[in-house]
Structure 1
Amino acid sequence: MRESLYRQIQEFKPWNEQEEVDKEVILHLLETQEDIFFRSNLIAHMTASAWVLNRKHNKALLAWHNIYQALTWLGGHADGEEDLLAVAMREVKEESGITRVHPITENIFSLEILNVLGHEKRGKYVPSHLHVNITYLLEADETEKLSIKPDENSDVRWVCLPEGFHTQEKWMAERIFEKLRQKLEKLG
């Protein structure tokens, strides 16, 4: 599976300079960091995220993240799993309560390396590190009941596009959400 992910990333066509640079770093990390899929790698580890759209593709499912104190897309740590699409789908279900979600495409939608500041989780200090993130584009039924995951988020909601992209911290809004908005716009 690691080879399959490596190949997918190699074949990924970067949208902008951020993706171009991050793609090279991610490939290097996959080549050199044996434990990149585990949180035990305190410098950088793999995560998977999802842009979950409703069936009309005019709303995105976002959650208020307890650690980041921001409205973010859903996702989480690989924790040893190398099938990152499966990780993204699992995390969406766990973090939002929805049960029916499917990929719009199995291709990588976006990739990014995200800074995570040191914080406390479950009573233990987690040092600053990098999330080596792969994002997938998923679809779900917006009428399905949502529920929070109290240890991770305090709100889960469907946000009309493109308004949802303007509620984030400046760096996230300019570098990541604007890129994702442009990509969604291109999909039509």
Structure 2
Amino acid sequence: MSLIDDIRAYRPFNQQEAADRAVILRQLEADPQVFDRSSLAHMTCSIWTVDPTAAKTLMVYHNVYRSWSWIGGHADGERDLARVALRELAEETGVASARIMPCGPRGIYSLEVLTVDGHEKRGRYVGSHLHLNVTYLAVASPNAPLRPKPDENSGVRWVPLEKVCALSTEPWMATRIYRKLIDKLATVDIPPARMC
């Protein structure tokens, strides 16, 4: 199966996911460049990483957004977004031993269309655009060594779930996305011994 088939098979958790799933599918069907960031609306992925007790999540202090946030990145031509998400996790936090949970079709945990305002990155202006985002749920040990990726973030830490929304300085992300991701954890059985 392809990513588009996985997204078609994915069951939305709420109205936001249902609406965003429709947008993502339309763009996947219509834009052959959707996996490249040169497209105005392009594919990205995030990885919501929790400890084995699902009491904490791994967050980074994102330099562009100036907020504590989840981990993720651009597809940049890659169609296996789960692999991209794990790579981004390792690059941005140093955690290389996480395992993706089998939540939905091929591990899809959540879907989002995220607006990105124009900003400076590495000395260049990046125009406003849309991230067509696929989120994966991963489990990792809170004892794994952490390290930031200075060109992307200036901090990495495990955050208790009850503090995530207050820690974010992005109100829409906190109330619409992070709250949803936390609430969805109640629907997932995380095997304590296997961590996957």
TM tier, shorter chain?
over 0.9
> 1:149 maps to what in 2?
149
CA-CA distance at 1:177 after TM superposition: 1.2
Q: What percent identity do the matched residue pairs reach?
A: 48
* Residue aligning to 1:83: 80
| Partner of residue 184, structure 2 | 183
The alpha-carbon deviation at position 165 of structure 1 amounts to 2.8
Contact conserved, 2:62 with 2:68, CA < 8 A, in 1?
yes
Q: Give the corresponding residue for 1:74.
A: 71
Give me the whole-angstrom Cα distance separating, in 2, the residues matched to 1:187 and 1:79: 30
Question: What code does the residue aligned with 2:160 have?
Answer: C
1:130 Cα offset (Å): 0.4
Q: Residue 27 in 1 paired to residue 11 in 2? A: no
Deviation per CA, 1:47-100, whole angstroms, max 9, x where unpaired? 010010112211100001000111111010011000000010000000001121
Residue 122 of structure 1: how far off its partner (Å): 1.6
User: Structure 1 stretch 102-111 or stretch 75-84: which is displaced more?
Assistant: 102-111
- Where do 5+ consecutive residues of structure 2 fail to align? 190-196
| 1:109 equivalenced with 2:109 (yes/no) | yes
Q: In structure 1, what residue type is equivalent to 2:130?
A: L
Q: Is the contact made by 1:63 and 1:157 (CA closer than 8 Å) also made in structure 2? A: yes
Asked if structure 1 preserves the Cα contact closer than 8 Å seen for 2:164 and 2:174, the reply is no
TM-score (normalizing by structure 2):
0.91
After superposition, the CA RMSD in angstroms is 1.1
**Are 1:17 and 2:11 matched, yes or no?**
no
- Residue 85 of structure 2 is aligned to residue 92 of structure 1: no
TM-superposed CA distance for 1:45, in Å, is 0.9
Measured after TM superposition, the shift of residue 36 of structure 1 is: 0.6
Q: Structure 1 length as normaliser, TM-score?
A: 0.95
1:80 counterpart SS class: coil
Code of the aligned partner of 1:54: D
Number of residue pairs matched by the alignment: 185
Secondary structure, in 3 states, of the residue corresponding to 1:71? strand
Cα distance in structure 1, aligned partners of 2:47 and 2:96: 14
Displacement of 1:163: 1.8
- The AA in structure 2 aligned to 1:86 is R
Q: Report the CA distance between 1:160 and its aligned residue.
A: 0.9
* Conserved? CA contact 1:165–1:181, under 8 Å: no
Structure 1 residues without counterparts, runs of 5 or longer: none
User: 1:179: Cα distance to partner?
Assistant: 1.0
Structure 2 distance, partners of 1:107, 1:141, is 19
For 1:17 and 1:123, the matched residues in 2 are separated by: 38
TM-superposed CA distance for 1:162, in Å, is 2.4
